[in-house]
């Protein structure tokens, strides 16, 4: 189990790779949404009026937020939020940071 947690388990099957959320910027996310918000909060604040699926946008200004609670408070629609993130990236060139666990998985798939 220790090797699995440290990502040092020998690869017995090159067709399977397991990635999972881990601590990033002193925060261990519980969902894609809170992981994404935790690493993109400044940009989300800049783009909040263009993002769909948000409610209680004033909570984005909280200093030192509990990202899990912030996500619960501000996220009204996961699909709308995710779609508008993609829309802003494609139409306005907004660059979003990708949670580390997703980046690792995508890099593995690209091999």
- Per-residue pLDDT tens digits for 52-85: 999 999 999 888 899 999 999 999 989 999 999 9
CA distance 73 to 41: 14
**Residue 13 domain flag:** no
**Residue 57 domain flag:** yes
Q: What percent of the chain has pLDDT over 90?
A: 59
**Residue 25 domain flag:** no
Which of residues 46 and 4 earns the better pLDDT score?
46
**Residue 79 domain flag:** yes
**Residue 9 domain flag:** no
Cα R_g (the chain), whole angstroms: 16
Closest CA relative to residue 37, chosen from 8, 10, 9, 69: 69
Sign of CA dihedral 109, 71, 78, 81: negative
Which pLDDT score, from 0 to 100, does residue 83 have? 96
Number of separate domains in the chain? 1
CA distance 5 to 91: 39
- Name the residue range of residue 95's domain: 33-110
pTM beyond 0.75:
yes
**Residue 60 domain flag:** yes
3-class secondary-structure state, position 18: coil
CA distance 79 to 77: 6
CA distance 65 to 56: 14
């Amino acid at each position: 189990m220790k090797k699995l947690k440290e990502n040092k388990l020998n690869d017995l099957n090159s067709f399977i790779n397991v990635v999972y959320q881990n601590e990033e910027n002193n925060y261990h996310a519980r969902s894609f949404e809170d992981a994404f918000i935790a690493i993109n909060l400044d940009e989300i604040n800049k783009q909040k009026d263009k993002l769909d699926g948000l409610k209680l946008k004033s909570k984005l200004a909280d200093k030192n937020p509990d990202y899990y609670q912030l996500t619960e408070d501000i996220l009204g629609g996961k699909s709308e939020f995710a779609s508008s993130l993609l829309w802003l990236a494609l139409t306005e060139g907004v660059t979003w940071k990708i949670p580390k666990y997703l980046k690792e998985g995508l890099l593995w798939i690209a091999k």
